[in-house]
Structure 1
Amino acid sequence: MPEKSGITLNRAAQDVVLERQRQVSAEGYSLYRDDGYVKGELSEAGATYASLAGNPGALSTQWPWGRRHSNRALTADATLSKPQR
């Protein structure tokens, strides 16, 4: 975490922040890019993560960007839906 804000994050929240930082630095994602999703894609992706939490390697037909973008997102730990520790 680059800055200290006085807010203490639990491990699950830290994992979410670290994943977003990875997306920005390694994959070139940005808030500008996020603003281009106007048909509920990000909400649908979040719901998909939640539905697959605890089932690593599972796939879903609900992933808004199809199989070509599902490798990391759906075969990892579902970083955005990890239970709090």
Structure 2
Amino acid sequence: MSRAVADIVAERQRQIDAEGWTPEHDDKHKKGEILLAAKAYFAHATRRALSPSGGDRAGIPYDWPWDAKWWKPKAPRQDLVRAGALALAEKDRIHRVFAKRADHRDLDAEAYYTLILTEIERLDRAGA
């Protein structure tokens, strides 16, 4: 297991244990909010957190899905790990929802998760 994957898995477990964001809690977010949050942290980490109009909401990404108090950006690598953990949570949520459908594939969440892993590993190689 790469360091990036281990860090994402550890962050996801922290979200469950410390924050209470359990799978049951995640299952209540049916409108893509978890993946939007992952994208916001990814965008922030890669310096693209601005809205399409070039502004933001007092430092909060334009498409942040929740109350401002939940926006807690950190260093780029930490934000990428957070984004990866959120993408993993969404991926798992979708898999639970469609567990009975053999033909379902969540390519968007899985592709996004892979993109985040690639970016973390790039930062790790650069020594960030």
SS of the equivalent of 2:42 reads helix
CA apart distance, 1:59: 4.1
Aligned to 1:4: none
TM (norm. structure 2) is 0.50
In the TM superposition, 1:1-85 aligns within 5 A as: 9-54=1-46, 59-71=60-72, 74-76=73-75, 77-78=78-79, 79=81, 80=84, 81=116, 83-84=120-121, 85=124
Aligned length: 73
Aligned-pair identity in percent equals 33
TM (norm. structure 1) is 0.71
Counterpart amino acid of residue 83 in structure 1 = I
- Structure with bigger helix share is 2
CA apart distance, 1:61: 2.4
SS of the equivalent of 1:48 reads helix
Q: Which has the higher contact order (CA 8 A, sep 6+)?
A: 1
Q: Following the alignment from structure 1 to structure 2, what is the Cα–Cα distance between the partners of residues 52 and 24?
A: 23
Q: Following the alignment from structure 2 to structure 1, what is the Cα–Cα distance between the partners of residues 61 and 6?
A: 25
The change in CA–CA distance for 1:36 and 1:65 in structure 2 (over 3 A counts) is: same
**Greater Rg over alpha carbons, structure:** 2
Structure 1 runs not aligned, ≥5 long: 1-8
